[in-house]
Structure 1
């Protein structure tokens, strides 16, 4: 049983004759008759009464007609949806981003993407790098933004942005007049940090391990506005991307004496075929990064 045979069968049933069906299908009448005969042979059932002037369905043919209509409608629906997806008239992109990038880097990109492709649905999830990787593996999101210093072997990554982590402190802090800050000086201060699992925290954990010191953590929170408030009131210093404090005159961003650069990448499951909508999103992000 194939789609062509079902289409021929349904047309004969609805028009009541092989010749009429052949005319509507734009094929020769013997081709229709042969297709129906092969269908009956494969099913080992008679589908039409042929001893009448107008052919009519047997009881078995009535049952098959009901299924044929449903099957052919499903095929038409699938073809229409595939066309819409190909033309980007519909589709969904599920992407996970860390808090800093979700708040300060991605909003204009997401809005520009939505403006260019208004029919596509965007679902944006905020989480730490490690949690995003787990969500990708579980299929909860299509892709996520990760720090690609040591990308997992089971993820495909495409770098789109390099950012420098900066030491953030109040404008009146004793260290604020320096050109840069050493790791030793940074780790003598009380720190305001993200919780574990975020790349912000992983940077600090890595730097403190390399320096052989234990960081003095005064506050742990993933709320960026709260971190900025705590730091601006002199209750600790932190590390953030420079873009986060660019418009805040109360805060100063100093590079580390040994600069800390982060390579940020879009990542998805290796070997997983991205939908056309997701491929378009990846291309768009890379295009925007290149233009920036």
Structure 2
């Protein structure tokens, strides 16, 4: 058994297709098939069901999957830690941040972090919180910003911000003159909303479950800047984190009654070595919030 076989196994297990796995790995498909076949021979087990071009993990494959992931995680951690023991002065932070808050909360954090640690590079991936959580679990991201209250057991989380969710309306809308708006009033309006995968959407729909009411969604997008534009032109109203609309003079931010708040957290994978660069960023973020 070698590392290459484990990497191939994990890629096939993720995409459930040998050809797509080969494309992602940038190698020929027969090489992937041969490596997996050899791994199965060495284990004397069948790891994948192969029927009518459909690939799925066998019961044995499901059991082997977390072991393979852990081996690769441990190998990556060993390489990082040994590099640091050799006096490595360079490092990279790979973090996922939802687009809505990356544009309004993190620019100053990123600027100040790079001034404090000019030897470290920072790579930011803009995805929804749900997708970020998944990528951390798969080891494709070191850390990320997630939202909510419940998380898989394999994630370590630290809350750094609680932000209010507000109704966003144009200045000529009746709600703009109100101090607050109820859920019932809000969902009777035409809504411009976020697509699946964005936690603010899932959070709000969960809140509505207890009411038995359904929102009137007239348009969905994953572009929060487009949501703002459609609110401005009267297509519908929407919800935002307060920080995102507080500086917009042509939009009004109105609280819900009762108020709604969203917890934002920095997360990384449990029991996986967190590099010096990533530890530095997490500590820096939490310290900045504490000082503010």
TM-score surpassing 0.5?
yes
State yes or no: 1:84 paired with 2:87: yes
Partner of 2:265: 265
Report how far residue 237 of structure 1 moved: 0.7
- Judge conservation of contact 1:84–1:90 (CA < 8 Å) in 2: no
1:147-166 matches, cutoff 5 A: 147-166=147-166
Counterpart CA distance in 2 for 1:180 and 1:152 is: 35
Closer/same/farther in 2, CA of residues 208 and 79 from structure 1, 3 Å limit? closer
Closer/same/farther in 2, CA of residues 243 and 79 from structure 1, 3 Å limit? closer
Counterpart CA distance in 2 for 1:234 and 1:144 is: 34
Report how far residue 191 of structure 1 moved: 0.8
**Highest CA radius of gyration, 1 or 2?**
1
* Aligned partner of residue 160 in structure 1, secondary structure: strand
Partner of 2:228: 228
Partner of 2:123: 123
The C-alpha deviation readout for 1:111-159, integer Å capped at 9, x for no partner, is 1111111111111001111111110011111011111311222211011
* Aligned partner of residue 151 in structure 1, secondary structure: coil
* Aligned partner of residue 203 in structure 1, secondary structure: helix
Report how far residue 218 of structure 1 moved: 1.1
Query: Normalization by structure 2: what TM-score?
Result: 0.70
Partner of 1:255: 255
Closer/same/farther in 2, CA of residues 232 and 275 from structure 1, 3 Å limit? same
Report how far residue 205 of structure 1 moved: 1.1
* Aligned partner of residue 141 in structure 1, secondary structure: coil
State the number of aligned residues.
212
Partner of 1:134: 134
Counterpart CA distance in 2 for 1:84 and 1:104 is: 36
- Judge conservation of contact 1:187–1:215 (CA < 8 Å) in 2: yes
Partner of 2:94: 94
Query: Normalization by structure 1: what TM-score?
Result: 0.70
Closer/same/farther in 2, CA of residues 79 and 174 from structure 1, 3 Å limit? closer
For structure 2, list consecutive stretches of 5 or more residues without a partner in the other structure: 1-80
- Judge conservation of contact 2:169–2:253 (CA < 8 Å) in 1: yes
* Aligned partner of residue 228 in structure 1, secondary structure: helix
Report how far residue 83 of structure 1 moved: 4.2
The C-alpha deviation readout for 1:189-225, integer Å capped at 9, x for no partner, is 1111111111121122112222211111111112121
Partner of 2:190: 190
- Judge conservation of contact 2:146–2:265 (CA < 8 Å) in 1: yes
